[in-house]
A and B are shown apart, each in its own frame.
Chain A
Amino acid sequence: MFLGESLAVSAIIFGIGVAGVLFRRNAIVIFMCVELMLNAVNLSFIALAQQLGREGQVIVFFVMAVAAAEAAVGLAIMISIYRHKESVNLNDIRLLRG
């Protein structure tokens, strides 16, 4: 039920997330867009789990755990960058660009 429709919704949300990561410069918003992409993938896992077995839902569990870990570490990195640069705009952070 709703397999194709769910995959389509998941594709659209993933695309919105990609567009956000590519054209926003605020690091926090970029992070939120990454979460958006993870959620789109979760949706397709769950849609396919309905046809192919419960394991897909278990994978979503692991995705959520990894997303939580990633958010914690990423936001900590952002705090320590802000302490040095007073900004979270990626255009101001160019340590590796020389």
Chain B
Amino acid sequence: MILTVVFWSFAGLSIMSALLCVTRRNPVSSALWLVVTLFGLAGLFVLLDAHFIAVMQVIVYAGAIMVLFLFVIMLLHVGRDQPPDMLGRVGSIVMIGVASLMVLELWVLTTSEPAAELQLPAGTLAREAAQLGAVGAVAGPLFRDFLVPFELTSILLLAAIVGAIVLAKRRI
């Protein structure tokens, strides 16, 4: 019961701030509302037994990526109210239609149940987390089954660093 209340308050928080993030004219307020959305989602992650991912969400997304965004907004002198940049009335209605079509399609998925033979017994993840610790439970599959993708991620990040420097620097 209390969990349901907590779930819907976090869900409402993230949906409302996502809406505000999309509609604000000042990019800085958009970025700050996006941070609120990310925090709300981190709360949902905790409720869904993904404690470690929730912490990573706050550190990596709300910390690192959003700071990057704010830095770029500051560098580009766009941190004040911008002239309205939305499409006109007809365009907006069409786009809202497209987006709600998408929501409807995804909504159908919420009524579907995964096949019974794939499902874990209820509470498995919570038990695992209690046994192995929040980090250990994620680290197991990460370093056993997903070791090669994990190593490839480091190459991807290196390529991104080099690419970002090459693109943003005036003279190398």
* Interchain CA distance A51-B119 in the complex, whole Å: 5
* B167, A77: Cβ atoms closer than 8 Å: yes
Residues in A neighbouring B146, C-beta threshold 8 A: 55, 58, 62
* A31, B69: Cβ atoms closer than 8 Å: yes
Mark each residue of chain A from 9 to 32: 1 if its CB lies under 8 Å from any CB of chain B, else 0.
111111111111011111011011
* A14, B142: Cβ atoms closer than 8 Å: no
- Pick the most buried of A4, A14, A32, A55: most chain B CB atoms within 10 A of its CB: A32
Check: B68 CB closer than 8 A to any chain A CB: yes
Which single residue of chain A is at the shortest CB-CB distance from B100?
Answer: A15
* Interchain CA distance A34-B138 in the complex, whole Å: 26
Interface residues of A, count at CB 8 A: 70
Inter-chain residue pair count (beta carbon < 8 A): 230
Which single residue of chain B is at the shortest CB-CB distance from A28?
Answer: B27
Contact of B65 among A4, A67, A78 (CB under 8 A): A67
* Interchain CA distance A51-B34 in the complex, whole Å: 28
Instruction: Return A36 CB to nearest CB of chain B, in Å.
Output: 6
Check: B131 CB closer than 8 A to any chain A CB: no
* B65, A60: Cβ atoms closer than 8 Å: no
* Interchain CA distance A76-B85 in the complex, whole Å: 22
Check: B78 CB closer than 8 A to any chain A CB: yes
* A9, B141: Cβ atoms closer than 8 Å: no
* Interchain CA distance A30-B161 in the complex, whole Å: 22
Residues in A neighbouring B75, C-beta threshold 8 A: 79
Mark each residue of chain B from 136 to 172: 1 if its CB lies under 8 Å from any CB of chain A, else 0.
0110111001100110010011011101110110100
> Closest 3 A-B residue pairs measured CB to CB?
A11-B106, A69-B160, A15-B103
What are 24 A-B pairs at a CB distance below 8 A? A9-B11, A13-B41, A14-B102, A15-B102, A15-B103, A23-B87, A28-B78, A32-B69, A33-B21, A39-B41, A46-B50, A48-B114, A49-B48, A58-B138, A58-B142, A64-B61, A65-B156, A66-B153, A69-B157, A69-B160, A72-B161, A79-B75, A80-B168, A88-B76
What 13 new A-B contacts, CB under 8 Å, besides A54-B125, A72-B160, A79-B76? Answer: A25-B86, A31-B69, A35-B34, A35-B61, A36-B37, A46-B48, A51-B118, A51-B120, A69-B159, A75-B164, A76-B164, A78-B72, A79-B75
